[in-house]
Homo-oligomer: A and B are copies of this chain.
Amino acid sequence: MKRRIDTATRIILAAEALFAEQGFTETTMRQITAEADVNLAAVNYHFRSKQGLVNAVTERLMEPLCDEIEVALADRLASSSNIQLEELLEMLMRALLHVNQQNTFSLSVFMRLLELAYMKNQEELRDFFVSRYAPRLESYLRCLQADAAPMEENEFFWRLHFMLGAVVFTLSNYHTLLILEKRSFKDSAEIEQILHRMIPVLTAGLQARAENNYFCRL
């Protein structure tokens, strides 16, 4: 008897939902396989290990994201090489929103993956990200830099991560944040609004004039 969707996919979907809610370490393979209604051994069979499953989840999210950004950027660059930050960020948000339409939790788990990748002991996952996706996003980043305030290379590095932090933190925890905001989680319109709210803030952050003088030591 055939299942409507195959085992590997069922596992990935269940894993995304649980990773988003609980984090990776906190999610057990028993939880994943119970949620997916598959055998406990199926994860190791299909993905070799729990880490293998994490990588699979990563790919399933990053590939279409990179694809969409690359295509959108290429299209836009065809008409003009001058793109404003607002437009670039809207491109990104659109792509994130499409990822989120795969299923409810994918955006949250995606951001948690980025969080994880920056942890000290996750050099392997970090290398996976860098080697696989850094080249594909390079031209997008160069466009960002072009419309940001003029600044040294390392200043831009930090600004980028400030902004990445804002996005990752917010989207990792938007379920909690919506509750704190005293509004109940209704539909994906919520997430669209949050993404939209970010654009002017991120733009301003990247365009702010850098300070040159330290605040006095203590």
Contact (A196, B175) CB under 8 Å given A162-B201, A168-B169, A181-B157? no
Residues of B within 8 A of A26 (CB): 25, 121
- A203 and B26 CA atoms in complex are apart in Å by 36
Tell whether A7 is near chain B: CB-to-CB under 8 Å: no
Q: How many copies does the complex hold?
A: 4
Tell whether A98 pairs with B218 under 8 Å between CB atoms, given A121-B21, A157-B181, A166-B163.
Answer: yes
Give bound CA distance, A21 to B120, whole Å: 6
List, in ascending order, chain B residues with CB within 8 A of A202's CB. 162, 205
Closest to A207 in B: B204
Interface size, chain A (Cβ < 8 Å): 61
Query: A208 near B: Cβ within 8 Å?
Result: yes
Given A119-B23, A215-B196, residue A170 in contact with residue B162 (CB < 8 A): yes
Q: CB of A81 within 8 A of chain B?
A: no
Q: Which of A1-53 contact B (CB under 8 A)?
A: 21-23, 25-26
Known contacts A23-B119, A158-B170, A162-B169; 18 further A-B pairs (Cβ under 8 A): A21-B120, A22-B121, A97-B218, A115-B169, A120-B175, A155-B197, A157-B181, A159-B201, A162-B198, A162-B201, A165-B165, A165-B169, A168-B169, A197-B211, A201-B206, A204-B205, A204-B207, A205-B205
Closest 6 CB pairs of A and B: A165-B169, A204-B208, A204-B204, A118-B173, A162-B166, A165-B166
